[in-house]
A and B are shown apart, each in its own frame.
Chain A
Amino acid sequence: MAEQLYNAVFIGSIYALFALGFALVFSVLDILNLAHPTVFMLGAFIALFVIGTLGLPWFVALPIAVLVTGLFGIVLDRVAFAPLRRRGAPALSSMISSLAVTLIVVRLVELRYGGDFITFPAGAVPAFVFRVGDATFEGIRLAIVVLTVALMLALTYVLRRTQLGRDLRALAENPRAARLLGVNVDRAIAATFFVSSALGGLAGVLLAFAYNTLDSKMGVPLELRAFTVMVVGGMGSLPGAVIGAYILGFGEVASLVYLPTELRDAFAFGLLFLVLVLRPTGLLGQKSPDRV
Chain B
Amino acid sequence: MDAVFDFLRTYSTTIAVIGVSALLALSVWLTLYAGQLTLGNAAFMGVGAYVSALLGRHLDTPFPLALFIGAVSAAVLALPLGAIVFRLRGVYLAIATLAFGEIVRVILLATPITGKGQGLNGIPPKTELWHIYLSLAIVAYVLWRVQGSTLGRAWAAIREDEIASASQGIAVGRHKLAAFVIGALIAGWAGGLSAHVTFSIDPSDFGFTKAVQVLVFAVVGGIPNVLGPILGAGLFTALPELLRPLKDYRDIFQGAILLLVIIYLPRGLVTFVEVRRTRRLSRIGAADVA
Contacts and interface: CB of A to CB of B under 8 A. Distances in A.
Interface of A: 32, 79-80, 83-84, 87, 89-93, 95-97, 99-104, 106-108, 111, 220, 223-224, 227-228, 231, 235, 260, 262-263, 265-266, 269-270, 272-273, 276-277, 280, 289-292
A101 to B, nearest CB: 7
Contact of A97 (B96, B117, B212, B259): B259
A92 B223 CA distance: 13
Residues of B contacting A: mostly: helix
Interface stretch (B85-93, B141-149, B180-188, B269-277): B85-93
A272 B101 CA distance: 12
B258 A103 contact: yes
A100 B87 contact: no
B117 to A, nearest CB: 7
B262 A93 contact: yes
B117 A262 contact: yes
B92 A235 contact: yes
B290 A91 contact: yes
Interface stretch (B46-54, B102-110, B127-135): B102-110
Given A276-B95, A289-B87, A265 B285 contact: no
Residues of A contacting B: mostly: helix
B289 A272 contact: no
24 contacts: A83-B263, A84-B263, A90-B287, A92-B287, A97-B258, A97-B262, A100-B262, A102-B255, A106-B251, A107-B252, A107-B255, A108-B252, A111-B249, A231-B92, A263-B106, A266-B110, A269-B100, A272-B99, A273-B100, A280-B87, A289-B87, A290-B87, A290-B89, A290-B92
A104 B251 CA distance: 7
Contact of A262 (B98, B110, B219, B263): B110
A239 B87 CA distance: 25
Nearest to A263: B110
A227 B256 CA distance: 26
B255 A262 contact: no
Contact of B89 (A260, A265, A269, A292): A292
Nearest to A278: B83
Interface in B71-129: 83-84, 87-92, 95-96, 98-100, 102-103, 106-107, 109-110, 116-117
Contacts of A273: 84, 96, 99-100, 103
List the 10 shortest-distance A-B pairs measured between CB atoms, nearest first: A103-B255, A292-B90, A92-B290, A104-B255, A100-B259, A100-B258, A107-B251, A272-B99, A289-B92, A266-B106
A96 B84 contact: no
Sorting the interface of chain B by its residue count into under 10, 10 to 19, 20 to 34 or 35 or more gives 35 or more
Contacts of B6: none
Contacts of B84: 273, 276-277
Contacts of B290: 90-93, 95, 292
A289 B89 contact: yes
A172 to B, nearest CB: 15
A80 B259 contact: yes
A96 B216 contact: yes
Contacts of A91: 90-91, 290
Nearest to A260: B110
Given A80-B259, A227-B98, A262 B116 contact: yes
A108 B287 CA distance: 30
A103 B220 CA distance: 16
B241 interface: no
A97 B83 contact: no
Contacts of A87: 266
B286 interface: yes
Contacts of A231: 92, 95
Contacts of B98: 224, 227
